[in-house]
């Protein structure tokens, strides 16, 4: 026994062994006391023992088994890589503006920048369900950050829905199907079709030569508190993990104020953990009724409360993101209001339900309809407005250019006016002293649509320095053709398929003729290192 302990490598193991040995000794001592047996010279005879057999009984499959088998093949594992180069994020389309700028019908500004922050116990809300490993100053892979999430296929051509935070700022996005070989290979390279920061949703696409399995989108409005639900995803890198629970609540807003205006979640107690983010929440008809997005946690793990973006919202956002504009267009009338007013305000101003206008955007739709600060909006097209969320949801769902009839109270007297809905991004661009996402010459143009880049012409000074003309890249959309070829903001493109692109107009003229399946080769110079000469990134569009 002494020799054995000397061979143990840790005190903890020795203590464990000692504890087990002590317990064993106690059991043996008890046996001695009970039976008066001090030792056995030979083993007892077991000739009368019957060998065990496995019973081949059948258990009828339950609904959870059926759903897992039906939907599992359409649920994917998503891995991303973010490279440690500062320029990789400079100038990219800033989808974070949906949070940082006053949102449509903004309920006021407390003078603080709350972007990226969350209530104390929502530790996994903005860095959501996955860690990034390693950090830039640790690990042995040159500082490359790797993240994990889930998604599900909604179109057999390879279109996938996931969370924006799963792929946000990633340089490379990889998708692995349940049918792909279980190897160290990261999977199939994916490209971003569109993202919506306001709902934390994204659409990505992988190329496929054969139709892929898909899910069915259910009606989240018909789901009820207490309904059974099933979640499928890749928690802690464990792909195709299935958990079940019920709908605990509906219409939860966990990020208060403007950032949470379009986030009204389904709450569930189905176990959701890091890596589940972007996976489906399913009803008992095998239909997706939500996208798993956030958890309430004090331990960075499952504590029985998860949140999923309702499928009805997901479908509307998806349809916008696959449109030619690849963005979600929301209506606005250009007002700001403050939530959480005391009952005294309601009594003094003489209203029970409605929205007290705090500020009217000069030149905006509400201003043109003669709405003023202090007006109380009570109805839209004759329907009573309960609160700010009700107002925002109603107006945001309307298309720019359409009209609504607003009922309001001014100085205690009911009035009404007709307001033409505006584009939310454009309405508040002036308010933020900024412009909607674009390059300096306005609009992404052909480069944005075809290649995923926005450009503008270089200055005469730069042309003289480089001894050539061209266009300079303002931004590169993550997962786009240009991104996959290694293009970065600041690079100068002088030719596309051997045709000169000395001006923005010339560049657009060449790129607009490109079609899917075309080979595209660019001649590129890095102005920071012009001595490196011309590079020739290229691939098939």
Structure confidence at residue 93 as a pLDDT band (50, 70, 90): very low
Angle at 331 between CA 330 and CA 333, to 5 degrees: 145
Min mean pLDDT across 70-84, 396-410, 430-444, 469-483 is at: 430-444
Catalytic member of 196, 200, 389, 425 = 200
Can 62-328 and 331-427 be said to share one CATH topology?
Answer: no
Q: Average model confidence (pLDDT) for the chain?
A: 77
User: Residue 195 has what pLDDT?
Assistant: 93
Structure confidence at residue 537 as a pLDDT band (50, 70, 90): confident
User: Residue 155 has what pLDDT?
Assistant: 97
- Cβ(174)–Cβ(167) under 8 Å? no
Catalytic member of 147, 150, 165, 255 = 165
Q: How far is it, in rounded angstroms, from Cα 146 to Cα 16?
A: 37
User: Residue 25 has what pLDDT?
Assistant: 39
Whether residue 136 is predicted with pLDDT greater than 90 in this model: the reply is no
User: Residue 402 has what pLDDT?
Assistant: 93
Of residues 130 and 482, more confidence is placed in 482
Whether residue 429 is predicted with pLDDT greater than 90 in this model: the reply is no
User: Residue 340 has what pLDDT?
Assistant: 66
Angle at 274 between CA 268 and CA 280, to 5 degrees: 50
Q: For residues 252-263, give the mean pLDDT.
A: 74
Min mean pLDDT across 40-44, 89-93, 147-151, 192-196 is at: 89-93
Q: Give residue-wise pLDDT tens across range 327-380.
A: 888 999 998 886 666 677 777 777 778 888 888 888 889 999 999 988 999 999
Domain boundaries, the chain: 2-31, 62-328, 331-427, 445-540
3-state secondary structure 95-137: CCHHHHCCCCCECCCCCCCCCCCCCCCECCCCCCCCCCECCCC
Whether residue 67 is predicted with pLDDT greater than 50 in this model: the reply is yes
CATH number among 3.40.50.300, 1.10.1060.10, 2.40.10.120, 3.20.20.70, domain 62-328:
2.40.10.120
Min mean pLDDT across 274-288, 301-315, 361-375, 417-431 is at: 417-431
Per-residue DSSP letter, 320: H
Structure confidence at residue 171 as a pLDDT band (50, 70, 90): confident
Structure confidence at residue 245 as a pLDDT band (50, 70, 90): very high
How would you label 152-169 residue by residue, b for 16+ Cβ within 10 Å and e otherwise?
bbbeeebbbbbbbbbbbe
- Asked about 332 being catalytic, the answer comes back as no
Nearest to 420 by CA among 398, 391, 435, 436: 398
User: Residue 38 has what pLDDT?
Assistant: 54
This prediction has a pTM of 0.62
User: Residue 442 has what pLDDT?
Assistant: 43
Maximal CA-CA distance, the chain? 104
User: Residue 273 has what pLDDT?
Assistant: 83
Of residues 346 and 291, more confidence is placed in 291
- Asked about 200 being catalytic, the answer comes back as yes
Q: What percent of the chain has pLDDT over 90?
A: 33
User: Residue 19 has what pLDDT?
Assistant: 31
Whether residue 315 is predicted with pLDDT greater than 80 in this model: the reply is yes
User: Residue 105 has what pLDDT?
Assistant: 59
Structure confidence at residue 41 as a pLDDT band (50, 70, 90): low
- Asked about 326 being catalytic, the answer comes back as no
Catalytic member of 223, 234, 277, 475 = 277
Q: What is the CATH number of domain 445-540?
A: 2.30.42.10
Of residues 539 and 94, more confidence is placed in 539
How would you label 319-328 residue by residue, b for 16+ Cβ within 10 Å and e otherwise?
ebbbeeebbb
Structure confidence at residue 408 as a pLDDT band (50, 70, 90): very high
Min mean pLDDT across 98-112, 188-202, 265-279 is at: 98-112
**Can you spell out the DSSP letters for 451-498?**
ISEEEEEPPHHHHHHHTS--EEEEEE-TTSHHHHTT--TT-EEEEETT
User: Residue 145 has what pLDDT?
Assistant: 64
Percentages helix, strand, coil for the chain, rounded to the nearest 5? 25, 30, 50
The number of angstroms, rounded, from the C-alpha of 426 to the middle of its chain's C-alpha atoms is: 24
User: Residue 152 has what pLDDT?
Assistant: 96
Q: Give residue-wise pLDDT tens across range 442-458.
A: 445 677 888 889 888 88
User: Residue 449 has what pLDDT?
Assistant: 80
User: Residue 223 has what pLDDT?
Assistant: 95
Domain 331-427 homologous superfamily, CATH: PDZ domain (2.30.42.10)
Min mean pLDDT across 147-156, 177-186, 429-438 is at: 429-438
Q: Give residue-wise pLDDT tens across range 210-242.
A: 999 999 999 999 999 999 999 998 887 777 889
């Amino acid at each position: 026994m002494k020799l054995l302990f000397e061979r143990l490598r840790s005190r903890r193991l020795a203590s464990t062994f000692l504890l087990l040995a002590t317990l064993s000794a106690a059991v043996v001592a008890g046996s001695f006391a009970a039976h008066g047996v001090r030792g056995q010279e030979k083993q007892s005879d077991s000739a009368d023992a019957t060998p065990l057999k496995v019973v081949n009984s059948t258990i009828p499959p339950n609904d959870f088994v059926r759903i897992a088998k039906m939907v599992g093949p359409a649920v994917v594992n998503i891995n991303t890589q973010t490279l440690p180069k500062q320029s990789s994020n400079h100038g990219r389309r800033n989808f974070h503006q949906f949070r940082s700028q006053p949102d449509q019908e903004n309920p006021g500004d407390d003078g603080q920048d709350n972007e990226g922050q969350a209530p104390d116990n929502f530790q996994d809300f903005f860095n959501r369900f996955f860690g990034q490993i390693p950090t830039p100053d640790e690990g042995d892979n040159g500082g490359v950050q790797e993240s994990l999430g889930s998604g599900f296929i909604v179109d057999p051509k390879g279109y996938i829905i996931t969370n924006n935070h799963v792929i946000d700022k990633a340089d490379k996005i990889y998708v692995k199907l349940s049918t792909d070989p279980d190897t160290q290979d990261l999977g199939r390279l994916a490209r971003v079709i569109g993202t919506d920061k306001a709902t934390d949703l994204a659409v990505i696409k992988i190329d496929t030569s054969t139709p892929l399995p898909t899910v069915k989108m259910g009606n989240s409005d018909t789901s009820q508190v207490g309904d059974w639900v099933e979640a499928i995803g890749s928690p802690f890198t464990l792909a195709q993990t299935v958990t079940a629970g019920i709908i605990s609540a509906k219409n939860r807003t966990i990020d208060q104020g403007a950032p949470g205006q379009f986030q009204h979640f389904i709450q569930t107690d189905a176990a959701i953990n890091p890596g589940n983010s972007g996976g489906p929440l399913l009803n008992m008809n095998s239909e997706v009724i939500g996208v798993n997005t956030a958890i309430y946690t004090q331990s960075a793990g499952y504590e029985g409360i998860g949140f999923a973006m309702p499928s009805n919202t997901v479908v509307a956002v998806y349809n916008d993101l696959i449109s030619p504009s690849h963005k979600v267009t929301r209506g606005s009338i250009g007002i700001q209001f403050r939530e959480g007013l005391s009952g005294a305000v309601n009594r003094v101003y003489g209203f029970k339900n409605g929205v007290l206008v705090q500020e009217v955007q000069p030149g905006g739709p509400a201003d043109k309809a003669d709405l003023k600060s202090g007006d109380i909006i009570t109805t839209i097209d004759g329907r009573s407005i309960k609160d700010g969320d009700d107002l925002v949801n109603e107006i945001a769902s309307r298309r720019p250019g359409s009209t609504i009839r607003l009922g309001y109270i001014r100085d205690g007297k009911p009035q009404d006016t007709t307001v033409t809905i505006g584009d939310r991004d454009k309405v508040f661009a002036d308010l933020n002293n900024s412009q909607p996402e674009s390059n300096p010459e306005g609009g992404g143009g052909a480069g944005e649509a075809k290649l995923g880049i926005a450009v503008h012409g270089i200055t005469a000074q730069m042309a003289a320095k480089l001894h050539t003309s061209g266009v300079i890249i303002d931004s590169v959309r993550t997962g786009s053709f240009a991104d996959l070829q290694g293009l970065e903001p600041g690079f100068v493109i002088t030719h596309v398929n051997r045709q000169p692109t000395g001006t923005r107009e010339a560049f657009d003229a060449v790129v607009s003729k490109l079609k899917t399946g075309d080979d595209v080769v660019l001649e590129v110079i890095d102005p920071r290192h012009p001595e490196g000469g011309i590079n020739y990134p290229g691939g098939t569009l």
